[in-house]
Amino acid sequence: MFNRLYENTRGKKQWYRIGQNLPIMSATALLSDKIYTYCMDQLKQMAGLPQEHFDFFYQSFIYRFAEFVQVIPEARNEVLGSLLTNGLLRGLNTLHLFVNTLSGSTPLERYALFTACVLRDIHLVLTNQKIFITDQEGATLNVWQPFCGPMTEDATGQGYKIIPLSSAYQRIGRSLRPVLARQVIGENGYLWIASDIRLLAEWLEALNEEDEEGSGRLVNVIRRYRRDGGGLIDDLPIAVVDILDATATEYADLFYQWLIDGINDGSIKVNGSDAHVHITHCGVFIEFPAIFKTFSDLYNVPVNHFVVFTQLGNLFGIARKGGHDYQHAQLFSEYPDAGGARAGFLNPMSGKSHALRDGFLISDVNSVFINGQVPDVTPYMKVPSTLKQPFQALAEFNAINKPNATMKNR
């Protein structure tokens, strides 16, 4: 057994903080530590394939997986890179157990087992967070669409930011997993597995082995590894990440962190007659300038609340990508006690019903209420019929109309 025959010289573990702009890294950068050369050598011995075929199936898959998950953590409070290293550890160790305890396994079975184990948590790239592709100053260019390919294939992006989501999306992980696994493994690897329909069924069972339904050899060895542990290696180093500047969103990042923390601990009111955050039929409405001024005064930031509001538009990519997911909006207020001095919002109509309120609208409530507890729709805000709805904005959504518009040739 291989156990810690190396020193992890890649630096201390890193955790993500909201607002950090992470660099998009190549597979060679992500897997540059010498231990990965050792792992490739051991994997080649277990694969039972000639070098050319090993490179074609295994190495290309590992590189694509690395570029797909980058240093995204497995969970919000996990270390950066844990999705990558834990996937590779699971694949290496389960395959080692398979080869050394079960006789008669074929190269195809080994490949199916390895890829299923590596891709076991691939759904987490979608269910845990949204990924914003950014420029060199941290402004959002677009939202990463995993179904279009890894971040490295985006010709415009320099970095990315992680926007946490509530646990509400975890229940769809089982459905997303085989679709994303097919995306990452690529056409050649998938067709090789699919050449044996029985094995393809086992591969799909192995991806969802927590369902306790499968009974094939792949599922059985995965459960054995999960129960007993052990294997070839017990740790993998994580690449050091050099955080990029985010000058275009510096104060918006702080505001967003303050907003979700305040909603979570109850210090920021929601949906009340004196609240500045409301749930509407179109998403979360964040009123301007009220809550932005509160933030600026509380943290004594060296810019005014207009700058924070503008930077929030940069953070969510309003100017660059448009669409209905994030937008500036005006809603009708129905405050029974709305006064002209509401948090400094001076408007001759502010004391009247149906006065317009300016603000920022986020369509996905789960990116603000990350504790998963979303209140009912507010009675104090009404959405104008002219507000852009999802079906009206469909033509503007580049990932649907032009999925490869910003992608490099593959």
pLDDT tens profile 303-330: 999 999 999 989 988 766 555 667 877 7
Query: Residue 267: inside a domain, yes or no?
Result: yes
Identify whether residues 151 and 58 lie together within a single domain. Answer: yes
Domain boundary among 228, 260, 288: 228
4-7 contacts at long range (C-beta below 8 A, 24 or more positions apart): 4/234, 4/235, 6/34, 6/35, 6/38, 6/237
The residue segments making up the domain with residue 282 are: 250-397
206 in a structural domain:
yes
137 plus 218 within the same structural domain: yes
Residue 20 sits at φ, ψ, to 5 deg, of: -65, 140
Same domain, residue pair 220 and 352:
no
Question: Looking at the structure, do residues 37 and 126 belong to the same domain, yes or no?
Answer: yes
Task: Please report the sign of the dihedral spanned by the C-alpha atoms of residue 266, residue 345, residue 377, residue 309.
Answer: negative
Whether pLDDT at 377 is above 90:
yes
Dihedral, CA atoms, 256, 262, 263, 268, nearest 10 degrees? -110
Residue 214: band (very low, low, confident or very high) from pLDDT cuts 50, 70, 90: low
Residues 6+ apart with CB under 8 A from 188: 56, 57, 60
Look at the alpha carbons of 187, 188, 193, 194 in this order and tell me if their dihedral is positive or negative. positive
Whether 392 is covered by a domain: the verdict is yes
Give the Å distances, CA to CA, from 113 to 3, 37, 344: 22, 21, 61
Average pLDDT, the chain: 85
Q: What is the CATH classification number for the domain harbouring 117?
A: 1.10.3210.40
* 295 and 364 share one domain: yes
CATH number of the domain within which 258 lies: 2.40.10.200
> 107-118 and 217-228 are packed helices; what angle lies between their axes, rounded to 10 degrees?
50
Q: Is the pLDDT of residue 268 over 90?
A: yes
pLDDT tens, residue by residue, 105-123:
999 999 999 999 999 999 9
Q: According to the model, what pLDDT value does residue 403 have? A: 43
Predicted confidence at residue 328, as pLDDT, reads 79
Residue 127 covered by a domain: yes
Distance CA 248, CA 41 (A): 44
Q: What are phi and psi of 180, to 5 degrees?
A: -70, -35
Query: Distance between CA 296 and CA 256 in Å, rounded?
Result: 12
Domain membership of residue 275 (yes or no) is: yes
Most confident stretch, 178-187, 216-225, 227-236, 380-389: 178-187
In a domain, 8, yes or no: no
- Same domain membership, residue 258 and residue 219: no
- One-letter amino acid for residue 382 of the chain: K
Last-in-domain residue among 228, 258, 276: 228
Please indicate, yes or no, if residue 175 is contained in any of the structural domains.
yes
Q: Are 353 and 334 spatial neighbours (Cβ–Cβ below 8 Å)?
A: yes
Which is more confidently placed, 325 or 398?
A: 325
Q: How many domains does the chain have?
A: 2
Is there a single domain that holds both residue 199 and residue 289? no
How far apart are alpha carbons 298 and 261 in whole angstroms?
A: 14
- Let me know how long the chain is: 410
211 shares a domain with 297: no
Q: Are 54 and 105 contained in the same domain?
A: yes
pLDDT value for 52: 98
Would you place residue 103 in the very low, low, confident or very high pLDDT band (cuts 50, 70, 90)?
Answer: confident
Residue 17 lies in a domain: no
Comparing 90 with 10, the larger pLDDT belongs to 90
Within 10 Å of residue 179's Cβ, how many Cβ atoms? 13
| 155 and 302 housed in the same domain | no
Same domain, 272 and 215: no
For 26-78, how does the pLDDT look when each residue is reduced to its tens digit (9 = 90+)?
Answer: 999 999 999 999 999 999 999 999 999 999 999 999 999 999 999 999 998 89
135 lies in the same domain as 80: yes
Question: What residue type is 62 in one-letter code?
Answer: I
